[in-house]
Amino acid sequence: MSRTTSMGRGITAVLAAGERHAHGLPGGTVAEIAADLGKDRSQVSRSLRTAEQEGFLRRTAQRTFALNWSVLTDAHLLTRRRLHTDGAAALERLSSETDEGCFLGVLSGDSTVTVGESIPATSKMVGSWLGRPYPAYCSDAGQALFWEASEVQVRKVFAQVPFVKHGPNTPADVEDFLARLKAARRRGYSIVDEEAEPGLYSLAVPVRDFRGEVVAALQIVGPKSRLEPRQADHAKALAAQGTWLEAMLGCPSPSKQP
């Protein structure tokens, strides 16, 4: 029996236990999971025991096999660390290639918060944006961070948020924001054109983790007069670094995402 085949069966058993969780069931017995998979009970039993030994599954008081959530917690912590370390590398390369300020933002409630930045020596930007929140409906990272969100989710986040005007093109309301988000998805990246403040222009792409979920946004920010004429080139560089960072976070390739 090859190692690859054994590993494949083990992963299949873990996924089967996870599928039962998704349907509100507390894991499953060997017999139940074997029936779900249509596999031989003894073979499934070996796979489940191996998965338990490796820490992916745990045995409950009812003698069922359930997901060991500590593994997912560890994966989240590792993703957070890699977002900072590999994110810094992506920002440095992107800033060097574009000669513009580049940032990494995350969502916090109805605001975005900068967790990484790289500012070239030629930049006239003053101060740091690290740790500073900004309204998500008009921030440079906002649209990209809602990339996979449903309209219902977006409306829920902004239900109690007044759309205060920060620039000449700030979205008027949630419907306006949703229309811009749809346009960004079709384009493949967001453009925030004088929404956050007059004269400011930015491009952003979402960054997904090992679950395929958006955890951050990679951005290029600068004066509209300088960025807009180079939009196509900057968008290409942005997409390349975003794809690299997603790979570092274990994001499945598009063909493997559900």
The secondary element (H helix, E strand) that includes residue 79 is helix 69-98
Length of the chain: 258
Beta bridge partners of 208: 214
Q: Could you tell me the pLDDT band of residue 245, with boundaries at 50, 70 and 90?
A: very high
Answer with the residue of higher pLDDT: 76 or 208. Answer: 208
**Is a pLDDT exceeding 60 seen at residue 200?**
yes
Q: Could you tell me the pLDDT band of residue 234, with boundaries at 50, 70 and 90?
A: very high
Amino acid at position 189, single letter: Y
Q: pLDDT tens digit string along 143-198?
A: 999 999 999 999 999 999 999 999 999 999 999 999 999 999 999 999 999 999 99
**Is a pLDDT exceeding 90 seen at residue 23?**
no
Largest CA distance in the chain: 68
**Is a pLDDT exceeding 90 seen at residue 238?**
yes
- The two structure tokens encoding residue 115: 């967790």
* Euclidean distance between the first and the last CA atom of the chain, given in angstroms as a whole number: 30
pTM: 0.71
Quote the pLDDT of residue 1. 36
208 Cβ contact partners less than 8 Å away, ≥ 6 residues apart? 214, 215, 246, 249, 251
CA 257 to each of CA 14, 39, 173, 182, 240: distance values in angstroms, whole numbers, following the listed order: 18, 25, 32, 20, 19
CA 107 to each of CA 28, 113, 141, 196: distance values in angstroms, whole numbers, following the listed order: 36, 6, 8, 16
Rounded to whole angstroms, the Cα distance separating 236 from 158 reads 31
**164: phi then psi, degrees, rounded to nearest 5:** -70, 140
DSSP percent split of the chain into helix, strand, coil, nearest 5: 50, 20, 35
Instruction: Please report, rounded to a whole number, the percentage of residues in the chain having pLDDT higher than 90.
Output: 55
Q: Could you tell me the pLDDT band of residue 8, with boundaries at 50, 70 and 90?
A: low
| Strand boundaries in 132-244, DSSP class E | 133-135, 190-193, 200-208, 214-223
Could you give the 3-state DSSP secondary structure of residue 132? coil
**Is a pLDDT exceeding 80 seen at residue 14?**
no
